Amino acid sequence: MPRHDLQSSDITPESVYVDRRRFLAAAGLAGAGVLAAGTLARAAFAAGRPGQQKSLGTPYGLQPNDTPTPEEDVTSYNNFYEFGTGKDDPAANAQDFKTRPWTVKVEGMVAKPGDYQLEDFLKPSRMEDRIYRMRCVEAWSMVIPWRGIPLADVIKRAQPTSQAKFVEFTTLLDPKRMPGQRYPVLDWPYNEGLRLDEALHPLTLLATGVYGKDLPPQNGAPLRLVVPWKYGFKGIKSIVRIRLTDRMPRTSWALANPGEYGFYANVNPAVDHPRWSQATERRIGSFRRLQTLPFNGYADQVASLYSGMDLVRNY
Ligand code: MTE
């Protein structure tokens, strides 16, 4: 389906549409490299009907026609194999998952390793609400209002040594509490990684909330990674360890199927998955099919991280 066959003015009340134009201009500012939420004066993104508008946060990199995916879809259509492999399994099976108390180890090549209590991450003064486009490797996408802190804050506090080149993330391993880990679907615990410069990029978030509330378990409570220019599987959930290292971390999906899932996993419509096209995506909660954008629409901010790299080989 061509992307521009339906204008957002066709489906959105006009006052909301006009508001959106204003807020999308703020998103354009972000595109020019002004990434701090403060400088955008916390421009609110209005959703819903006039008179019922809610502030969901600052829009980052949104495109015309991008509206936040309904909360019911964000919290009921999930991938979280620790709670089952079906899209509706996590919401059903993770309901009673206890996320307090929660300790995150920050370790490896850092001057200040430590065990952090979740409350260290949850300081309201450090939280930002940001609306990001999200693209799953399975060719569906959402627009999600996250709440979190820049991962760079946490990493800088630990003071990486000059040898540190990568960051490895690990999910809780506890088959009693995460019943999916009783089955050998993946090599548990779920593991992910970023290059240090990717981890320090101001768009990279450690999310603790969604839609202005604490994360529900199915979305990765109490703490998960959000990297909006990469496929969703990089967004590891329920993190208990962050380790700085000089070696490229082994990641769960690359271990499971190296020909299909690479370390970089940058959204790239020009490089198909071996079993399906990555050129378009289905936007959850709407009937639209969209063209997928390089780096999921964040090329202005992140393409320079990869200058000189062969992104077909480094998929
Ligand atoms: N993290 C863990 N620990 N286990 C998982 O199965 N699935 C990944 C990622 N993080 C996954 C995970 C995949 S494939 C996607 S698309 C996103 O989580 C989905 O995040 P969402 O459910 O909040 O949309």
- By most ligand atoms within 8 Å of CB, the mutation choice from 69, 76, 78, 80 for ligand 1 is 80
Q: Residue 315's Cα: distance from chain center in Å?
A: 18
Q: Which domains does the chain have, with CATH numbers?
A: 8-306 (3.90.420.10)
Q: Rounded to whole angstroms, how far apart are CA atoms 164 and 109?
A: 6
Q: Residue 276's Cα: distance from chain center in Å?
A: 22
232 lines ligand 1 (CB under 6 A): yes
Q: How far is the CA of 230 from the centre of ligand 1 (A)?
A: 12
Residues 6+ apart with CB under 8 A from 120: none
Q: How far is the CA of 16 from the centre of ligand 1 (A)?
A: 32
Residue 251: predicted pLDDT: 97
| Average pLDDT score over residue span 21-40 | 39
pLDDT tens-digit map of 51-90: 555 789 999 999 999 999 999 999 999 999 999 999 999 9
188 lines ligand 1 (CB under 6 A): no
| Contact yes or no for 300/62 (Cβ under 8 A) | no
Q: In degrees rounded to 5, what are phi and psi of residue 43?
A: -55, 130
Residue 120: predicted pLDDT: 77
**What are the tokens at 105?**
């180890």
| Contact yes or no for 204/150 (Cβ under 8 A) | yes
Question: pTM for this structure?
Answer: 0.86
Q: Which helix (H) or strand (E) holds 46?
A: strand 46-47
Residue 11: predicted pLDDT: 36
pLDDT tens-digit map of 124-163: 888 999 999 999 999 999 999 999 999 999 999 999 999 9
Minimum CA distance residue for ligand 1 atom 10: 236
Q: Chain-wide mean pLDDT for the chain?
A: 87
β-pair partners for 51: none
**What are the tokens at 206?**
């450690």
82 lines ligand 1 (CB under 6 A): yes
Is the peptide bond preceding residue 222 cis, with omega within 30 degrees of 0? yes
For the chain, give the percent of residues with pLDDT over 70: 83
Q: How far is the CA of 10 from the centre of ligand 1 (A)?
A: 33
Q: How far is the CA of 3 from the centre of ligand 1 (A)?
A: 27
Check whether 19 has a pLDDT greater than 90: no
Q: How many CA atoms lie within 13 A of 69 on its CB side?
A: 26
| Contact yes or no for 94/83 (Cβ under 8 A) | yes
Q: Rounded to whole angstroms, how far apart are CA atoms 153 and 135?
A: 25
**Helix, strand or coil for residue 190?**
coil
Q: Rounded to whole angstroms, how far apart are CA atoms 245 and 195?
A: 10
Atom of ligand 1 nearest to the CA of 81: 6
Q: Within 10 Å of residue 74's Cβ, how many Cβ atoms?
A: 23
Q: In degrees rounded to 5, what are phi and psi of residue 89?
A: -65, -50
